[in-house]
Structure 1
Amino acid sequence: MNLSEIKELMSQFDGSSLREFSYNNNGETLVFSKNDTQSLAPAPTPVVNQTPVDDAESAVAPVAPISTAAEGDVVESPLVGVAYLAPAPDKPAFVSVGDNVKKGQTLLIIEAMKVMNEVPAPRDGIVTEVLVDNEEVIEFGKGLVRIK
C-alpha cells in the first residue's frame, strides 16, 4: 500500500461515522481510531457537615480539587503506531516514573509499518509520568512521557 492510498483511506475514515477501522493485507496492518482513550477525573463531591446544628440545615463545604497532574514537559508522539515501553516482552521498561534520563536516551519504541522507531529524550531530566500503556495504538502528537 503506498502513501497516497493510505492518505485516501485516512480521508475517507475521517469523513465517515466509523469510530475504528482496521485493514490487514499480506501481514501489514493499518489501524485508525477516533476513540479518545483519556478518561476524565470525576468532579469533586461536596462534604456534608455531620454535626447537628440547632434548627439549621446541614452546612455544605466544597472540597478543593486535588491536583494529580505531574510536573514537566510532555514528549509527544512523532508518528502514528503502536507504543512499546520495553525492548522485548521479557525485558524491563526503557524508563519508569522517577528515572533520571539523559538527552537522546530511548524512552520507548513506536512501531509503524513494521519499522521500530526509537523515541529519544529531548533533554536531561526526571520522568514524572508515563502517559501510554504498552502496546497502545497512539496518534501523532499524543503525549507519551512527561519529563521535568
Structure 2
Amino acid sequence: MNISEIKELMAQFDSSSLREFSYRNASDELHFSKNTLAPAEKAVEPILEVPLTPIEAQPASVNSAPVEVEVNTEVVAEGDLVESPLVGVAYLAPAPDKPNFVSVGDTVKKGQTLLIIEAMKVMNEVPAPKDGVVTEVLVENEEVVEFGKGLVRIK
C-alpha cells in the first residue's frame, strides 16, 4: 500500500460517520479512530445513586433574614487568548532539561514560539500572533489539549 492510497483511505474515513476503522493484509496494517479517549482510558465510572427525599414546603416568613448570594469574582488576566490550532500534547519547553519557551511576564515578538503541540508524532510550533507580554499560561507541560483550547494569553 503506497502513501497516496493511505491518504485516500484517511480522507474517506474522515468524511464518513465511522468512529473507528481497521485494515490488515499480509504486509500492511492500519487503524484509524475518531474517538477522543485512548482504549485504556475508556473505563466507566460508577454511578452514585442518592435516594431522593421529599422536601416539605414551609411558609415564607415576612421577617426572614436577607439571603446571601455568592458571586463569582474570578479575575481573568488581560490580553488576547492564543488558542490551540489542533488536538495534541502541549510541551512548554523544547526538551525536558531545557527552560520553558515563555512564562508569565515574558515579552514576546510576533512569530516567536510559545509552545509545541505534538500530534501524530509531529512537533508543531505555536507562534505568537503579535508582539506583547505573556499575562497567563493556561496549560501544564504534557497536558492533552483540544482544538480551540486556550493556551496562552498575550497583552
Residue identity matched to 2:147: F
- Superposed displacement of residue 58, structure 1: 6.7
The 1-side partners of 2:108 and 2:101 are apart by 10
Q: 1:123 aligns with which of 127, 130, 134?
A: 130
Q: Which residue number in structure 1 is paired with residue 29 of structure 2?
A: none
Structure 1 gaps of 5+ residues are 24-30, 33-55
In the aligned structure 1, how far is the partner of 2:17 from the partner of 2:149? 17
Q: Which of residues 85, 88, 98 in structure 1 aligns to 2:92?
A: 85
State the structure with more CA Rg: 2
TM-score by length of 1: 0.63
Cα 1:71–1:106 change in 2 (3 A) is: same
| Structure-2 change in CA distance of 1:81 and 1:5 (3 Å) | farther
SS in 1 for 2:38: strand
Give 2:38's aligned amino acid.
F
What does residue 111 of structure 2 align with?
Answer: 104
* Partner of residue 49, structure 1: none
Take 1:117 and 1:136, find their aligned partners in 2: how far apart are those partners? 15
Q: Normalization by structure 2: what TM-score? A: 0.60
Greater share of strand residues, 1 or 2? 1
What is the distance in 2 between the residues matched to 1:83 and 1:9? 28
- Alignment RMSD: 3.1
Q: 1:43 aligns to what?
A: none
Q: CA deviation at 1:65?
A: 3.5
Q: Deviations over 1:112-136 (max 9, x none)?
A: 1111111100001111111111111
% identity of equivalent residues = 64
Report the number of matched residues: 114
Consecutive unaligned residues of structure 2, counting only runs of 5 or more, are: 1-5, 21-34, 43-62
Q: What corresponds to 1:139 in structure 2?
A: 146
